[in-house]
Amino acid sequence: MRIERDLAQLAQPFDVIVVGGGITGVNVAREAAGRGLRTLVVDKGDFGHGTSSATSKLIHGGIRYLETFEFGVVRESLRERRMLALAAPHLVHQQRFLMPAWRWSTPSTALIGAGVLLYTGLAFDRNRNMPADMRIPLPGWLSREKTLAAVPWLDAHQLQGAFAYHDTFNLHPERLLLAFLQSAVDVGAQAFNHMEAVGFMFDRDPAAGGDVAVQGLQLLDRITGERHEVRGRTVVNAAGPWMDLVLSDLGRSMGVKVNRSKGVHLLTQPVAGQAQVTDTVFARARSGHHVIVSPWQGHSFIGPTDTHVDDAPDAVRADEGDVALILGTLNDTIADGYPKLRVEDIEATTVGIRPLIVDDSKDSYTTSRRHELYDHAPSGVKNLWSIGGGKWTTGRALGVETVKALLASDALRGVPARAFDSRQATAHGAFAWAEDAQPYFDAVVRSRPTVPLDDVTRLHLARLYGTDHERILDLVEREPSLAARISDRPGRLDIAAQVAFAVTDEAACTLSDVLDRRLVIGTLGRVERAEVARVAGVMAPLRGWSAGQAAAAVEAELGRRAAIELRWRGRAGGA
Ligand SMILES: Cc1cc2nc3c(=O)[nH]c(=O)nc-3n(C[C@H](O)[C@H](O)[C@H](O)COP(=O)(O)OP(=O)(O)OC[C@H]3O[C@@H](n4cnc5c(N)ncnc54)[C@H](O)[C@@H]3O)c2cc1C
């Protein structure tokens, strides 16, 4: 099914309206629609444009949360890690992690080892139903020599070796989120991006005091500028770091706050020029800060930071300080004789805000990663729930918990619901549940030889879209000019047909929607003017843009990207 912004659908009453199309809201929508509830999910920007596209690209239990004794969170995450891998084998892979141990390491080598063992123990069911290629081996200890052979740039001084264990890599979180959104649409959900919830509708004037019941939402279409009123029996506020701002419209305190933690990553050329490194390095520097360095798309993906911010989420950007923190931490782990990483080596940054729950931790780094579902009825507002905390990995579990609570509430009493088991449901586009991807990819290369695309591009498409890649091949078959690459630069494999598909089937409205969350090119560093113009050229007739509008959209997008870059590059990069 296409994701369509069909405004006529807003006239119908819904059982569940979800505010926020991040991974949490998407999963709530998928569960609700899967249970047969009339479901609407809206996002004020694009689906997944918030925190959900700024992650460390891991589907993981969170080994470091063992340090803060969050065994429940880690166990739940490890259970979900397995389910996500089974549901979307084309978009994940099992990745070996190396956790180096130096004589000076804190925690000590013995404690790191105990943590790795406990982590593995909590993942006792990790290989249940797992096909051969996705099975996770037992962890092990690598000698100093083997560690340096695997990661030559690691500081060898006082290095004892490394613990090797596996976690799951989320190859393209933006597209995996979209796949789950499409799964929601496949089972009946309506989904609107660029549709902001700007106010609640009540059964009576809330200013008069006393209990009120939410009956729907006022929406602002950020594409057309039109306003809509949509009726719903329940509203779920899944706005992540914006959660408290959505509630502020109520004009009364719900007693719910968000602890916002800014997290930045850098995309660089392979660290120290060592492109052959295939492991993810999870190192803790002398400063106590940790850094994760993952090989991704021929680059190194490095981060995250974890700093409390008071700014409104829309104002948060990666800046020079974030960059300096990551470079300092990483460079502390690089051996003398290997080049240290510099601002000039950075090609892009990502920034997201963790919507943490408020607890009595002294900083955001040690704040719990658990989630909480708030029913606002006890605070005098019925039919309204908010979700705090959570992780990308645990989005499905949070969706199940939320919909269970909604169905048990007075608001949905008597509404018929059917059974739906997302534990064993594929993500949209997955070729099968719990099957190795390689045979599928091999078949992709051999199939439809008349379509004018090379093997590398076919694999690129199959990885990103799964079975939907066939629909992109259909487009190319009908219109061979859509086989053209968006970029002439090596390693940028996206083609024009993906842009057309993004607009017609995936609700992409803006250049950023296409570049950053439907295609890969926008996530690989600076995008050239000619590349943005090529994307605009494909979008224009489909979006009804005049030549002038397309040109203005290109300028605006280039300007937006340049402003982001200027902020983190500062004077040092001289860009
Ligand atoms: C640096 C970093 C690294 C991370 N790494 C990982 C990782 O590797 N693995 C992992 O499992 N988790 C990771 N996380 C955590 C994870 O990314 C988040 O917990 C998760 O993405 C939060 O999803 P969300 O849907 O709650 O929020 P978001 O993704 O931010 O979605 C909220 C949405 O609500 C929308 N919204 C806000 N206000 C309105 C409104 N008024 N109307 C309509 N829509 C509105 C926003 O536009 C936004 O899209 C990481 C987080 C960070 C910051």
Helix (H) or strand (E) holding 385: strand 384-389
Count Cβ atoms below 10 Å from residue 540 Cβ, excluding itself. Answer: 18
Q: Is the CB of 388 under 6 A from ligand 1?
A: no
Place of tokens 């290629």: 133
Q: Looking at the domain assignment, is residue 181 inside a domain?
A: yes
Q: How far is the CA of 256 from the centre of ligand 1 (A)?
A: 17
Helices and strands counted in the chain (H then E):
15, 19
Q: Looking at the domain assignment, is residue 299 inside a domain?
A: yes
Q: How far is the CA of 456 from the centre of ligand 1 (A)?
A: 32
Q: Identify the burial level of 543 via C-beta atoms within 10 angstroms of its C-beta, where 0-12 means exposed, 13-18 middle and 19 or more buried.
A: middle
Q: Looking at the domain assignment, is residue 312 inside a domain?
A: yes
Q: How far is the CA of 331 from the centre of ligand 1 (A)?
A: 29
Query: What is the value of pTM for the model shown?
Result: 0.97
For residue 537, the SS3 value is: helix
Are the C-beta atoms of 300 and 269 separated by less than 8 Å? yes
Residue 320 has pLDDT above 50, yes or no: yes
Q: Is the CB of 390 under 6 A from ligand 1?
A: yes
Q: Degrees (nearest 5) of the Cα angle 546, 552, 555?
A: 145
Q: Is the CB of 550 under 6 A from ligand 1?
A: no
One domain, residues 569 and 442 = yes
Cα dist. 498→313, 367, 535 in Å?
30, 40, 10
The closest-lying atom of ligand 1 relative to the alpha carbon of residue 387 is 26
- Predicted confidence band of residue 575 (pLDDT cuts 50, 70, 90): very low
The whole-angstrom separation of Cα 542 and Cα 139 is 51
The whole-angstrom separation of Cα 90 and Cα 123 is 22
Mutate to test the pocket of ligand 1, among 194, 242, 364, 367 (most ligand atoms within 8 A of CB): 242
pLDDT in tens, 173-232: 999 999 999 999 999 999 999 999 999 999 999 888 899 999 999 999 999 999 999 999
Nearest CA residue ID for atom 48, ligand 1: 50
Q: How far is the CA of 353 from the centre of ligand 1 (A)?
A: 7
pLDDT for 365 equals: 65
Q: Is the CB of 496 under 6 A from ligand 1?
A: no
Q: How far is the CA of 101 from the centre of ligand 1 (A)?
A: 32
Beta pairing, strands 227-237 & 14-19: parallel
End of a domain among 365, 382, 411?
365
One domain, residues 447 and 537 = yes
pLDDT for 66 equals: 87
Q: How far is the CA of 447 from the centre of ligand 1 (A)?
A: 37
One domain, residues 337 and 204 = no
Q: Looking at the domain assignment, is residue 556 inside a domain?
A: yes
What's the distance, CA 466 to chain centroid? 18
One domain, residues 448 and 504 = yes
Tell me how far apart the terminal alpha carbons of the chain are, to the nearest angstrom. 43
One domain, residues 520 and 407 = no
pLDDT in tens, 235-293: 999 999 999 999 998 888 888 889 999 999 999 999 999 999 999 999 999 999 999 99
Count Cβ atoms below 10 Å from residue 314 Cβ, excluding itself. Answer: 13
Task: Please state the domain count of the chain.
Answer: 3
Helix (H) or strand (E) holding 162: strand 159-170
The single-letter DSSP state of residue 158 is T
pLDDT in tens, 403-427: 999 999 999 999 999 999 999 999 9
Nearest CA residue ID for atom 2, ligand 1: 55
User: Residue 219 maps to which CATH number?
Assistant: 3.50.50.60
One domain, residues 486 and 552 = yes
Torsion sign across C-alpha atoms 451, 455, 460, 462: positive
Q: What is the mean pLDDT of residues 440-449?
A: 95
pLDDT for 255 equals: 87
One domain, residues 538 and 526 = yes
Tokens of 285: 């520097």
Q: Looking at the domain assignment, is residue 150 inside a domain?
A: yes
Nearest CA residue ID for atom 15, ligand 1: 391
One domain, residues 197 and 250 = yes
pLDDT for 574 equals: 46
User: Percent helix, strand, coil in the chain (nearest 5)?
Assistant: 40, 25, 35
Beta pairing, strands 227-237 & 259-268: unpaired
One domain, residues 477 and 330 = no
End of a domain among 383, 401, 424?
424
Q: How far is the CA of 8 from the centre of ligand 1 (A)?
A: 28
Q: Identify the burial level of 563 via C-beta atoms within 10 angstroms of its C-beta, where 0-12 means exposed, 13-18 middle and 19 or more buried.
A: exposed
pLDDT averaged over the chain?
95
End of a domain among 365, 383, 410?
365
Residue 94 has pLDDT above 60, yes or no: yes
Q: How far is the CA of 88 from the centre of ligand 1 (A)?
A: 20
Q: Is the CB of 246 under 6 A from ligand 1?
A: yes
Q: Looking at the domain assignment, is residue 328 inside a domain?
A: yes
For residue 414, the SS3 value is: coil
Residue 573 has pLDDT above 60, yes or no: no
One domain, residues 266 and 214 = no
Place of tokens 């560690």: 147
Place of tokens 């069911």: 125
User: Residue 165 maps to which CATH number?
Assistant: 3.30.9.10
One domain, residues 411 and 274 = no
Q: Is the CB of 513 under 6 A from ligand 1?
A: no
Range of the domain at 444: 438-573
Q: How far is the CA of 11 from the centre of ligand 1 (A)?
A: 28
User: Residue 536 maps to which CATH number?
Assistant: 1.10.8
One domain, residues 310 and 442 = no
